Structures are given as structure tokens and as C-alpha cells.
Amino acid sequence: MAGLPHILIVDDSRVVRATLMQHLKGSYEMREEADGDAAWQTLVLDHSIQAVISDLHMPKLNGLELVERIRASKLRRLQELPFILVSGEETEEDRQRATDAGVSDFVTKGVGSAEILLRLKHLLALSEAREDLDAGRERMVQDPLSGLFTRKFLELQTAQALSHSARHGGDSSLLVFGFDGYQGMCERLGNDTAAEVGHRFARMLAGKIRQEDSLGHFGAGQYAIVSPGTALAYCATFAERVRQAVEVSRLSVQGQPLSVTVSIGLAGVPADHVTSAGALLDLAGHRMQEAMQGGGNRIVSGGVAPATRTISIHHALELLASNRADAVKPHLVALAKQLGPLLQLLDKELGLALPLAEIERRLNERTGQK
């Protein structure tokens, strides 16, 4: 008996319960309860139960209320549990209500054992197939080559983040990164080499995100980060740091230097009014495409700007070495202030007579103009 499927029979009539158990004897191991409330308690505690056969009319909690509670449960095993309703003289409207509530199948009172066994067999086979499918999906949570989450799993993570934000009134954000000119990169380097460049970028991202964030594939040469509990403005600041880091990176591929840039799209709640995880992912992806079409190497965040952050002297020198002086010019005043003490020391030690006062005056003028 230990190896037989476990079935719960729920009916306030002892005679009906005994009749059903007689029909199923030898094929299933059975538990019985006399009302819906007791059945609910049993289902919560007994994880071995694989299906329920229940009457409709019962005290405390009727069959319809029982199945509604089961389908509304947070326990996945209950949400998908096969549920057969024993019906009598119910109308088609009653049956439709039961179907809408989540009843898997119906058995008419007085039906023979062969019919009941056939219905149970089909439902349990369907349940087993669904479990196998879910197990396959679980195995595809991560891409086997990169180890990153799949886009489907990212959508599930996004749905959880949105649910948490809705319940607790917090923020959740999404960032989608895409290499500018990725198709051209594939044509120049080959798909495998271009993918390896992407893997390097992903490893860099993985080292900078929090444990509660999720990083995964969005598309070819594109990656997404789901960041629950994070406001869009903070993600915009993070995105800007990543954009700058990629801009000045010095990659070597097949012995040749390779310059790459990324475009980034951001979306989040409550800043963006979306109602589904898929819609939020699509919005962030659309903004990434908008950034690419605007020239690339930029961020589109729906109007949320990153916090002002002065670049370091080291970063400025890297930009200049990469022939990107335009990226340094907006930071000249702040950089000059950092260099001031060094210039004063050089002037004193080497007797250069540098026009330090004139430099300071002009910097102050530029600050005033801004």
C-alpha cells in the first residue's frame, strides 16, 4: 500500500465515503474527511496526497469553497492538485462555476468503479506530465554555456519583484544592456568570439550586483538585471558607471584591440505604470533600442537622470588615451580642482611660474556660466 498514490475523499456521508473507498480499493491509498474544513487542514499537513475527490454539499466548507481555497493557496502543490467533484443534480451553470473555481473533473454520483478509476488515472498522468515539464523548465533556469539566467526565468523574477513592490509599496527596477553594433561585431569576429566578449561583460556585471539581484540574457549581445527594492535613480547611477567602464575598457581579441560601448534601457515601478513583468521587460528593452538608435553609448531611463558623479583623474586619463576628450570636458573644473595642489607643488619645485591665478579665474568663470 505504501507505493500506491494517496487520495483524499471528502464527503459528509459515511456511506458515500465507504462506497468510494470500495471502488478505489487496491489501486489507491485513501484518507477520508467529513467536511471541507477538515479536508483543508489535512491537505496542508499531508504532502503525500496526490488528488482529491469531494462532494459539493458539505458543512463548514463546501466543495466549491474548498477548491477555491486550494487554488488560492501559496503552496504550488495545492494550486495544481487534481480535484474531482462528485456531482448530483447540479445545473450546467453550477458546473461552470465549479470549473471556473478550478475543479479538474466531475464524477456523477452512483457511477461505477471503472469510470472513477479511469478519471483518476488520466488526471494523475496529466499531473505527472506537468511536473516533468516544470522540472525541465527548472533545468533551463540557467543557460548551459554562460551560466546566466534565461530570459524566461528573468520574467519570473520580475513578476516576483513586482508582486513584492505591490504588497509593500517599494521600488523595483530593470536594466537592459546591449552592445552597440553587436551584429557587426559578430560579422568581424565570428559568433563564438563575439559571444565570449559578451561573457566577459556579463562576468564584470556579476561582480558588481547584489545577491538579491538577478542577471541574465535578454537577447543576442544583450543582458538584463532585475533589481528588486531598488529605486530607478540608483539604477541610473549604476548604469552610468557601467557605461563609463565599458567605454574606457581596453579589450584584446585575437591579438587585436577592440573598442566597445553599450546602450542601456531602464524601467521600474512605481515610476513606470506597467501591470506585468513582461511589459516592464519590454519597456526596458525598448528604451535600450531607443538609446542605440540615438547614437549608442548612452542611457534612456524615461526621464530619470543618474546622480551627478565626478570622474576620477585616472578615468579622465583613460578617456583621453582612448581619444574621447569630449567625455572629459564636462568634468574639467572638478578635475582641475583635484590637480590644483599638484600644480602648486610643481610650480614651486621647478620654478615654472605657472599662471595659477589665471587658471583659477577662468575656472571660476566657467563655473559661473554653468
pTM reported for the whole predicted model: 0.50
pLDDT of residue 306: 66
Q: For domain 151-309, give the CATH number.
A: 3.30.70.270
CATH class of 6-139: alpha beta
Query: What is residue 1's predicted lDDT score, i.e. its pLDDT?
Result: 44
6-139 against 151-309: fold identical: no
Q: Other C-beta atoms within 10 Å of 78: how many? A: 19
- The answer to whether 267 touches 230, Cβ cutoff 8 Å, is no
Find all residues with CB under 8 Å of 276, minimum gap 6, and list them: 159, 162
Q: In Å, how far from its chain's centre is CA 60?
A: 40
Where the chain has pLDDT below 50, the residues are 1
Query: pLDDT tens-digit profile of 165-221?
Result: 887 778 999 999 999 999 999 998 888 899 989 988 998 888 888 888 999 999 999
C-alpha cell at 239: 548604469
Domain boundaries, the chain: 6-139, 151-309, 331-369
E strand spans, 90-205? 105-108, 172-179
